[in-house]
Structure 1
């Protein structure tokens, strides 16, 4: 009997771990549709498989993004929102373009790890570990052809330190990885986080917090 309960507990644990990430598909594909008909899978309704076509699995023109903005960078995502055929497949990607000194600011993906490949240019990249690991910084200078991984849920960034433009492709372990840009979330929340919270958290005067809250926090995606 103890063996039986142990097996049940083990199966329950395995099930909870499995559903912590994107589910494994139980059919060839489950193309997402913006409709309330059909089967609801992982946040999306699925098109009737018999009605699926090649365009459901196609994204046209992953070309250069416009980097003429305050950050000097542009993220072009290809998630389930842009490519419905990604639904239930557990993957997505993004192209990141950088002007000289362009920055993809500190951010995190709550549902995915990220594998970054530099196609052109030179990038300074890094991530910060959790409080449990004393917030260590792991950083490298990457050149064309180099690869770096950012673990799921950890704050990371990329800065173009070369003299020309830079381009990278990011592979992400979720169909909908999400993104939280730290400065935007903390100082640009709607409605604003209270001054008491932020002044105590950052140990600065209210005037500094008010100044930061008044800034335009640009979204580069």
Structure 2
């Protein structure tokens, strides 16, 4: 009886081991779908696929928002494909802001590593949660909710965000309204903003319509 049990256990162990797929490094030449990118063949995977150095350098904050977001999503970091996480670096200059935006596909965890960041989000019940964070403090932003980050104080702030998806998605509210071809009459109708203001903001952000 014992030899049979040992045989069955060995068979089960070998079968389970064969069914395990440790990782699925993205083949970025393929198309991205709901399940992520297709996997590179194991023979072409190297240690470099699991390392990303792109967040070590500061982003360029000489722009209209005075801030930069450097992503380490699957498109930049193929090793996170299928793992349910990714990251980004936030560089926010004095007076800079990451405008109201949403990540449709992920929760976000922000940790401040330099300076102070005032951050917040708006719940589905239109309740606003805001906190000024200092170095070492964290804040979470639930999936799909509008949120923002602003430098608090007169010095540059840096933070790192971790997302619960390799492709969290991003939609910035101001850009969706004023950097698109969403028509001025419809924006006015749906937001109650003055048409002159809408046209001014479209002129600043490059929108049309």
TM-score normalized by structure 2? 0.83
2: distance between equivalents of 1:150 and 1:90? 16
Once the two structures are superposed, the pairs formed by residues 70-85 of structure 1 within 5 Å of their partners are 70-85=64-79
* 2:52 is the counterpart of 1:59: yes
SS class of match (1:200): helix
| Cα RMSD, aligned residues only | 2.1
> What residue in structure 1 maps to residue 201 of structure 2?
212
Question: What secondary structure, in the 3-state scheme, does the structure 2 residue paired with 1:44 have?
Answer: coil
Q: C-alpha displacement at 1:215, in angstroms?
A: 1.8
| 2:40 aligned partner | 47
Aligned-partner Cα distance in 1 for 2:195–2:187: 8
5+ residue gaps, structure 1, are 1-24
Structure 2 Cα separation of the partners of residues 119 and 173 of structure 1: 20
After TM superposition, the structure 1 stretch with the greater mean CA deviation from structure 2, 205-214 or 102-111, is: 205-214
Change (3 A) 1:61 1:175: closer
Contact map agreement 2:178 2:205 (CA 8 A) in 1: no
In 2: Cα distance, 1:35 partner to 1:65 partner:
26
- In the superposition, relative to structure 1, how do residues 182 and 26 fare at CA in structure 2: closer, same or farther (>3 Å)? farther
What is the match of residue 11 of structure 1? none
CA–CA distance in 1 between the matches of 2:49 and 2:97?
32
Q: Deviations over 1:39-65 (max 9, x none)?
A: x87241211122211111111242211
Task: Give 2:176's aligned residue.
Answer: 185
Counterpart contact for 2:36–2:81, Cα < 8 Å: no
Whether the 8 Å contact between 1:78 and 1:92 is mirrored in structure 2 is yes
What residue in structure 1 maps to residue 95 of structure 2? 101
1:119-158 to structure 2, matched below 5 A, reads 119-130=113-124, 133=125, 135-158=126-149
Q: Could you tell me which residue of structure 2 aligns to residue 89 of structure 1?
A: 83
**SS at 2:90's partner residue?**
strand
CA contact (8 A) 2:61 2:68 kept: yes
Shift of 1:35: 2.9
Distance in 2 (CA, whole Å) between partners of 1:96 and 1:129 is 23
Stretches of 4+ moved more than 4 A in 1? none
